[in-house]
Structure 1
Amino acid sequence: MGEPITAYGPTPMDSPLIYNPERRYEAWRFLTYMFIHSGWLHILSNSIMQLIMGTVLELVHKWYRVSIIYILGVIGGCLASSLATPSYYLAGASGGVYALEYAYIGNLIIVT
């Protein structure tokens, strides 16, 4: 893109993976936006939370159960965001990370 990568950008708006609200008919964008991030701080924070929450959940549950929760969180986050803010572009795996966090909290409540 010709711009230096900073902590908060740039976001690759022309990427075929990003969720573009004007291209909702391209169904893969509801899932592939999780591979695009807005700067190194965004990908670093998502990766750290995935490692912490995902590892702990995989110790208790199987890897495929955690994967299903993560993927459904990504898709659900995109669908919810497209309904609440229909003109926003989406980038990052925050929906999946939030799904892992809530699964972790639910796991803590059940265990205690």
Structure 2
Amino acid sequence: MEWGANRRIETLAGQWWRLLTNVFVHAGFPHLFFNGFGLIISAIFVEPILGRIRFLILYIFSGLCGSLASIVWYPNTISVGASGAIFGLYGAILGLVLMDAFPRDDKKNVLIMIVTFILTGLLWGLFGGIDNAAHIGGLVSGTLSGIILFQFGKKD
């Protein structure tokens, strides 16, 4: 909690920064490694289409939405990690597929890849110790945000 983890009681007591700081705190090297891997892979697909600024907006917004979902669904759980933001990027990829942002030849492979990542992450969350609320909150907000941000035109 000292490093910025998110838990409902502290967050609702006025420590709102925890909704964002928890995205940058991890529970160990494996946690950081897997989130870093997801960030790199998804950034390869999202950043060239949305650009740096909209990518950053998407990442932070999805992280915040994942954190909010976490304190709603798991009020007594301490939450750390970037997976809400990462799942937001996964959702953005889904949204970009729906918006035909990828070349036709790549669209099917991108869809298969991202659905595999999403299902794998959600299945891991069934075994405990993983915040599927943050995953789902990030995924939903990222999908919608990806579609909306794509509509704003060319990358910056």
Shorter-chain TM-score bucket reads 0.7 to 0.9
What corresponds to 1:57 in structure 2?
46
* Structure 1 counterpart SS, 2:36: helix
Instruction: Return the structure number with greater helix share.
Output: 2
Tell me which amino acid in the other structure corresponds to 2:2: S
Task: Identify the match of residue 64 of structure 2 among 75, 80, 85.
Answer: 75
Aligned length: 99
Task: Identify the match of residue 89 of structure 2 among 93, 100, 111.
Answer: 100
The 5-angstrom pairing of residues 80-95 of structure 1 reads: 80-95=69-84
* Structure 1 counterpart SS, 2:99: helix
What corresponds to 1:23 in structure 2?
10
* Structure 1 counterpart SS, 2:5: coil
Task: Calculate the aligned-residue CA RMSD, in Å.
Answer: 1.3
* Structure 2 counterpart SS, 1:26: coil
State the 1:96 CA deviation: 0.2
CA distance in 2, matches of 1:16, 1:22: 16
TM-score normalised to structure 2 length = 0.60
Tell me which amino acid in the other structure corresponds to 2:49: V
State the 1:27 CA deviation: 1.0
User: Any unmatched runs of 5+ in structure 1?
Assistant: 1-13
TM-score normalised to structure 1 length = 0.81
What corresponds to 2:26 in structure 1?
37
